Amino acid sequence: MYDDNNIFAKILKGDIPSHKIYEDDTTYAFLDVMPRSDGHTLVIPKADATGLLDASGQVIANCMATIQMLAPKIVDAMGADGFLIQQFNGEAAGQTVFHLHFHIVPRKLGQSLRPHAGEMADPETLASHAHIIRAAL
Ligand code: AMP
Protein backbone atom coordinates (compact mmCIF):
# COMPACT_ATOMS: atom_id res chain seq x y z
CA MET A 1 0.00 0.00 0.00
CA TYR A 2 1.32 3.40 -0.99
CA ASP A 3 1.60 5.85 1.94
CA ASP A 4 1.59 9.43 0.71
CA ASN A 5 3.26 10.61 3.92
CA ASN A 6 6.62 9.26 2.73
CA ILE A 7 9.43 11.78 2.42
CA PHE A 8 9.59 11.76 -1.40
CA ALA A 9 5.82 12.40 -1.64
CA LYS A 10 6.43 15.39 0.65
CA ILE A 11 9.24 16.58 -1.64
CA LEU A 12 6.90 16.27 -4.66
CA LYS A 13 4.24 18.31 -2.83
CA GLY A 14 6.85 20.94 -1.97
CA ASP A 15 6.43 20.36 1.77
CA ILE A 16 10.13 19.44 2.16
CA PRO A 17 12.99 21.14 0.28
CA SER A 18 15.21 19.28 -2.18
CA HIS A 19 18.21 20.06 -4.36
CA LYS A 20 16.29 19.88 -7.62
CA ILE A 21 18.08 18.76 -10.77
CA TYR A 22 15.25 18.34 -13.27
CA GLU A 23 11.48 18.06 -13.57
CA ASP A 24 9.00 17.24 -16.32
CA ASP A 25 5.31 16.26 -16.38
CA THR A 26 5.89 12.75 -15.07
CA THR A 27 9.26 12.67 -13.25
CA TYR A 28 11.32 14.64 -10.73
CA ALA A 29 15.07 14.40 -10.09
CA PHE A 30 16.99 15.71 -7.06
CA LEU A 31 20.24 15.08 -5.21
CA ASP A 32 20.44 12.33 -2.60
CA VAL A 33 21.27 14.01 0.73
CA MET A 34 23.51 11.07 1.69
CA PRO A 35 25.37 10.71 -1.59
CA ARG A 36 27.38 7.59 -2.37
CA SER A 37 29.42 9.79 -4.71
CA ASP A 38 29.33 13.43 -5.75
CA GLY A 39 26.30 14.10 -7.94
CA HIS A 40 24.31 11.06 -6.66
CA THR A 41 20.83 11.81 -8.02
CA LEU A 42 17.42 10.25 -7.39
CA VAL A 43 14.83 10.02 -10.17
CA ILE A 44 11.24 9.51 -9.04
CA PRO A 45 7.89 9.32 -10.80
CA LYS A 46 5.22 11.86 -9.92
CA ALA A 47 2.73 8.97 -9.92
CA ASP A 48 2.19 7.02 -6.69
CA ALA A 49 4.17 3.75 -6.57
CA THR A 50 6.07 2.15 -3.71
CA GLY A 51 8.48 0.22 -5.93
CA LEU A 52 9.03 -1.45 -9.27
CA LEU A 53 6.12 -3.90 -8.97
CA ASP A 54 3.22 -1.50 -8.39
CA ALA A 55 4.31 1.01 -11.06
CA SER A 56 2.89 0.81 -14.58
CA GLY A 57 5.20 0.11 -17.51
CA GLN A 58 4.62 3.67 -18.66
CA VAL A 59 5.67 5.11 -15.29
CA ILE A 60 8.86 3.03 -15.37
CA ALA A 61 9.50 4.04 -18.99
CA ASN A 62 9.13 7.71 -18.04
CA CYS A 63 11.71 7.29 -15.28
CA MET A 64 14.08 5.47 -17.63
CA ALA A 65 13.79 8.22 -20.25
CA THR A 66 14.72 10.80 -17.59
CA ILE A 67 17.63 8.63 -16.41
CA GLN A 68 18.89 8.18 -19.97
CA MET A 69 18.79 11.92 -20.56
CA LEU A 70 20.28 12.97 -17.19
CA ALA A 71 22.94 10.35 -16.48
CA PRO A 72 25.51 11.34 -19.15
CA LYS A 73 25.09 15.00 -18.23
CA ILE A 74 25.61 14.28 -14.53
CA VAL A 75 28.69 12.18 -15.37
CA ASP A 76 30.19 15.02 -17.43
CA ALA A 77 29.29 17.70 -14.89
CA MET A 78 30.90 15.73 -12.03
CA GLY A 79 33.96 14.71 -14.04
CA ALA A 80 33.02 11.04 -13.57
CA ASP A 81 33.79 8.10 -15.87
CA GLY A 82 30.53 6.16 -15.71
CA PHE A 83 27.43 5.64 -13.62
CA LEU A 84 25.66 3.00 -11.58
CA ILE A 85 21.86 2.67 -11.45
CA GLN A 86 20.48 1.27 -8.17
CA GLN A 87 16.86 0.55 -7.32
CA PHE A 88 15.80 -1.18 -4.09
CA ASN A 89 12.51 -3.03 -3.53
CA GLY A 90 11.43 -3.80 0.02
CA GLU A 91 13.06 -3.42 3.40
CA ALA A 92 15.01 -6.65 2.96
CA ALA A 93 16.61 -5.21 -0.17
CA GLY A 94 17.63 -2.01 1.62
CA GLN A 95 14.70 0.21 0.58
CA THR A 96 14.14 2.93 3.16
CA VAL A 97 11.78 5.31 1.32
CA PHE A 98 8.64 3.71 -0.09
CA HIS A 99 8.13 5.84 -3.17
CA LEU A 100 9.69 4.30 -6.29
CA HIS A 101 13.11 5.81 -6.97
CA PHE A 102 16.15 5.12 -9.10
CA HIS A 103 19.63 6.10 -7.92
CA ILE A 104 22.02 7.53 -10.52
CA VAL A 105 25.45 7.17 -8.88
CA PRO A 106 28.35 8.70 -10.83
CA ARG A 107 31.48 6.50 -10.73
CA LYS A 108 35.12 7.51 -11.10
CA LEU A 109 37.73 4.93 -12.04
CA GLY A 110 39.50 3.66 -8.92
CA GLN A 111 37.24 5.53 -6.48
CA SER A 112 35.14 3.45 -4.07
CA LEU A 113 31.59 4.36 -3.12
CA ARG A 114 30.52 5.76 0.21
CA PRO A 115 28.00 3.56 2.11
CA HIS A 116 24.33 3.48 1.04
CA ALA A 117 22.32 6.01 3.12
CA GLY A 118 25.48 6.76 5.12
CA GLU A 119 26.45 10.32 6.06
CA MET A 120 24.54 13.53 5.39
CA ALA A 121 26.41 15.77 2.95
CA ASP A 122 27.07 19.43 3.65
CA PRO A 123 24.04 21.38 2.27
CA GLU A 124 26.31 23.96 0.63
CA THR A 125 28.21 21.24 -1.21
CA LEU A 126 24.92 19.72 -2.39
CA ALA A 127 23.68 23.13 -3.55
CA SER A 128 26.90 23.67 -5.46
CA HIS A 129 26.70 20.23 -7.14
CA ALA A 130 23.04 20.80 -8.06
CA HIS A 131 23.98 24.16 -9.57
CA ILE A 132 26.81 22.63 -11.63
CA ILE A 133 24.58 19.79 -12.89
CA ARG A 134 21.64 22.06 -13.74
CA ALA A 135 24.00 24.32 -15.69
CA ALA A 136 25.06 21.27 -17.75
CA LEU A 137 21.50 20.33 -18.77
P1 AMP B 1 16.56 3.55 -0.65
O2 AMP B 1 15.12 3.62 -0.24
O3 AMP B 1 17.35 2.68 0.26
O4 AMP B 1 16.77 3.20 -2.08
O5 AMP B 1 17.21 4.96 -0.50
C6 AMP B 1 16.59 6.13 -0.11
C7 AMP B 1 17.61 7.20 -0.38
O8 AMP B 1 16.99 8.44 -0.12
C9 AMP B 1 18.88 7.13 0.45
O10 AMP B 1 19.98 7.07 -0.42
C11 AMP B 1 18.85 8.41 1.27
O12 AMP B 1 20.13 8.96 1.41
C13 AMP B 1 17.94 9.30 0.44
N14 AMP B 1 17.19 10.30 1.16
C15 AMP B 1 16.51 10.17 2.32
N16 AMP B 1 15.89 11.31 2.65
C17 AMP B 1 16.16 12.20 1.65
C18 AMP B 1 15.81 13.56 1.40
N19 AMP B 1 15.03 14.26 2.24
N20 AMP B 1 16.30 14.15 0.28
C21 AMP B 1 17.09 13.47 -0.57
N22 AMP B 1 17.46 12.18 -0.39
C23 AMP B 1 17.00 11.55 0.70
Pocket test for ligand 1, best of 3, 5, 7, 15 (most atoms within 8 A of CB): 7
Q: Cβ distance 122 to 99 under 8 Å?
A: no
Express each pLDDT in 19-56 by its tens digit: 999 999 999 999 999 999 999 999 999 999 999 999 99
Residue boundaries of the structural domains of the chain: 7-136
For ligand 1, the distance from its centroid to the CA atom of residue 135, given in whole angstroms, is 23
Q: Please tell me what DSSP assigns to residue 41.
A: E
For ligand 1, the distance from its centroid to the CA atom of residue 79, given in whole angstroms, is 23
The one-letter amino acid code at 29 reads A
d(CA 73, CA 35): 17
Express each pLDDT in 68-119 by its tens digit: 999 999 999 999 999 999 999 999 999 999 999 999 999 999 999 999 989 9
CATH fold of 7-136 reads: HIT family, subunit A (3.30.428)
E strand or H helix that includes residue 70 = helix 57-77
d(CA 65, CA 67): 5
d(CA 134, CA 126): 12
Q: Which residues does a 6 A CB cutoff place in the pocket of ligand 1?
A: 7, 16, 18, 32-34, 42, 88, 94-97, 101, 117
d(CA 79, CA 99): 29
Pocket test for ligand 1, best of 11, 13, 28, 34 (most atoms within 8 A of CB): 34
Q: Whole-structure pTM over 0.75, yes or no?
A: yes
